[in-house]
């Protein structure tokens, strides 16, 4: 009899759900397109966690038909997803507003460095401007200043993995290796800061009461609840196993478990990660993220707008090419590759500055 792990990979553009056998082979899989709500001239990027969850339910229906009786041979579930996004949950497990996705560019202009000691320290080390920018980019700061009633109703602020774990198990719990973003997480110790007086809590506007509990990779987060079983058709009681954020899972999946090799991730954000037994910052003030190997690290360099840039370029600037590609029966990208052969090197002096959203370590990059 074949036994399977149900894996959920919730990316920015697609949600992929697969049945993986004990040899690591993908036997059955379903891919569903994810959408992001855009407004305020594209500076806001939001989506309800329930939208991703409904896509997962559709994926389950497809996989049940695809796998037949083997659907009942699932022995565990694990989740990975995009990083640096915050979802807002009330005490009943319902969302108080749409989640704020990593591509979001809003700034909380009301943010101020509150404590005098923090102002002095950040000024002394030359980080005051960077800290101010990070505080303004914090989703929690924006919500607590601009949507105070929503903030009052919000019990927990979680990653997309935390939201799925809640829907799967009924418990507010997440993996240590899924914690990446504008949150009071100590990347060196791989834990929440123990005291609410730590500067990270003031920077990101989150205190301990709004954080979920976290467990090491490969531990059981919880078990499929009765409610989830009725929604998905998964057997009640199946274990949900802690994994990590998408980039850390990709790095481990590429076999980068020792120094000397690197993983290149061609996702909506493009990154290159390595494995390290020691903590170090690959760029000043940019942390090394948790590895899937306990107490180890994945230092990373990232192109903030990666392959998403290609999709957005096609959408915004290539309407005529999209029409012509449909006539020829090929993708817009294939059509542009074809006509690019006719363009001389240098593109006639045309330059596109490909930020379309500035990363934290490049404060003055502009779209």
Structure tokens at 262: 């690197």
Task: Give a yes or no: residue 95 inside a domain.
Answer: yes
pLDDT at residue 40, as a whole number: 62
Instruction: Tell whether 166 is covered by a domain.
Output: yes
Return the structure tokens found at 87: 């979802």
Q: Is residue 325 part of a domain?
A: no
Count up the domains in the chain and report the number: 2
| 232 & 263 share domain | no
- Could you tell me if 186 and 254 lie in one domain? no
Residue 193: Cβ within 10 Å count: 17
In angstroms, rounded to a whole number, what is the distance separating the alpha carbons of residues 172 and 30?
27
**Is there a domain that residue 319 lies in?**
no
Residue showing tokens 């006719």: 342
**Domain limit, last residue, from 244, 267, 282:** 244
Residue 315 lies in a domain: no
Domain boundary among 244, 275, 290: 244
Neighbours of 32 (CB within 10 A): 17
Radius of gyration of the chain (CA): 21
Task: Report whether 177 contacts 124 (CB < 8 A).
Answer: no
Would 346 be classed as within a structural domain? no
Residues 219 and 271 in one domain: no
Q: What is the pLDDT along the chain (367 residues), one digit of tens a residue?
A: 899 999 999 999 899 999 999 999 999 999 999 998 877 656 899 999 999 999 999 999 999 999 999 999 999 999 999 999 999 999 999 999 999 999 898 999 999 999 999 999 999 988 888 899 999 999 999 999 999 999 999 999 999 999 999 999 999 999 999 999 999 999 999 999 988 899 999 999 999 999 999 999 999 999 999 999 999 999 999 999 999 999 999 999 999 999 989 999 887 778 899 999 999 999 888 899 999 999 999 999 887 666 667 777 787 788 899 999 999 999 988 998 888 888 888 888 877 665 555 555 555 555 4
Report if residue 358 sits inside a domain.
no
Closest to 35 in 3D by CA, of 23, 48, 22, 24: 48
Answer yes or no: do 90 and 35 share one domain.
yes
Say if residue 265 is in the same domain as residue 236: no
Q: Please check whether residues 197 and 274 belong to one and the same domain.
A: no
Query: What CATH number is attached to the domain comprising 14?
Result: 3.30.420.40
**122 and 35, same structural domain?**
yes
Are residue 82 and residue 133 in the same domain, yes or no? Answer: yes
Helices (H) and strands (E) in the chain, counts: 12, 20
In the chain, beta strands by DSSP E = 4-10, 14-20, 26-33, 37-39, 44-47, 74-81, 87-89, 99-100, 156-158, 173-175, 185-186, 191-192, 213-215, 220-223, 239-241, 262-266, 270-274, 289-290, 297-298, 300-303
The residue whose two tokens read 């996702």 is 267
Return d(Cα 345, Cα 190) in angstroms, integer: 47
Domain span including residue 284: 249-303
Residue that is written with structure tokens 């309800």 in the block: 48
pLDDT, position 229: 98
Residues 237 and 253 in one domain: no
Asked whether the beta carbons of 46 and 101 are under 8 A apart, the reply is: yes
pTM of the model: 0.87
Quick count: other Cβ atoms within 10 Å of Cβ 15?
A: 23
Same domain, 9 and 85: yes
Contact assessment for residue 200 and residue 192, using Cβ atoms and an 8 Å cutoff: no
State how far the Cα of 240 lies from the Cα of 121, in Å rounded to an integer: 42
Domain match, 108 and 237 both: yes
Does some domain include residue 338?
no
240 and 269, same domain (yes or no): no
What number of residues does the chain have?
Answer: 367
């Amino acid at each position: 009899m074949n036994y399977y792990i149900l894996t959920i990979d919730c990316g920015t553009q697609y949600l992929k759900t697969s049945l993986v056998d004990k040899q690591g082979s993908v036997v059955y899989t379903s891919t569903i397109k994810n959408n992001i709500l855009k407004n305020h001239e594209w500076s806001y990027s939001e989506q309800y966690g329930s939208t991703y969850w409904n896509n997962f339910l559709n994926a389950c229906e497809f996989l049940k038909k695809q796998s037949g009786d083997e659907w009942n041979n699932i022995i565990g579930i694990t989740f990975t997803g995009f990083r640096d996004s915050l979802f807002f949950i009330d005490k009943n497990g319902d969302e108080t507003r749409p989640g704020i996705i990593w591509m979001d560019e809003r700034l909380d202009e009301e943010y101020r460095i509150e404590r005098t000691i923090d102002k002095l320290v950040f000024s002394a080390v030359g980080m005051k401007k960077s800290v101010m920018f990070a505080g303004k980019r914090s989703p929690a700061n924006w919500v607590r200043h601009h949507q105070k009633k929503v903030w009052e109703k919000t019990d927990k602020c979680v990653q997309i993995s935390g939201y799925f774990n809640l829907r799967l198990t009924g418990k507010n719990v997440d993996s240590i290796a899924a914690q990446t973003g504008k949150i009071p997480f100590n990347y060196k110790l791989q834990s929440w800061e123990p005291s609410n007086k730590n500067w990270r809590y003031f920077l990101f506007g989150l205190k301990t009461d709004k954080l979920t509990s976290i467990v090491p990779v490969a531990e059981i987060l919880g078990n499929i609840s009765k409610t989830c079983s009725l929604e998905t058709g998964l057997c009640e009681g199946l274990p949900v196993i802690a994994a990590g954020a998408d980039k850390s899972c990709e790095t481990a999946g590429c076999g980068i478990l020792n120094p000397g090799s690197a993983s290149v991730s061609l996702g909506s954000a493009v990154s290159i990660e390595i494995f390290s037994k020691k903590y170090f910052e690959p760029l000043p003030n940019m942390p090394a993220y948790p590895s899937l190997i306990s107490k180890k690290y994945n230092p990373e360099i990232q192109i903030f707008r990666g392959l998403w840039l290609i999709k957005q370029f096609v959408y915004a600037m290539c309407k005529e090419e999209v029409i012509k590609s449909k006539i020829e029966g090929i993708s817009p990208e294939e059509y542009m590759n074809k006509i690019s052969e006719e363009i001389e090197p240098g593109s006639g002096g045309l330059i596109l500055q490909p930020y379309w959203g500035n990363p934290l370590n490049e404060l003055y990059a502009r779209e």
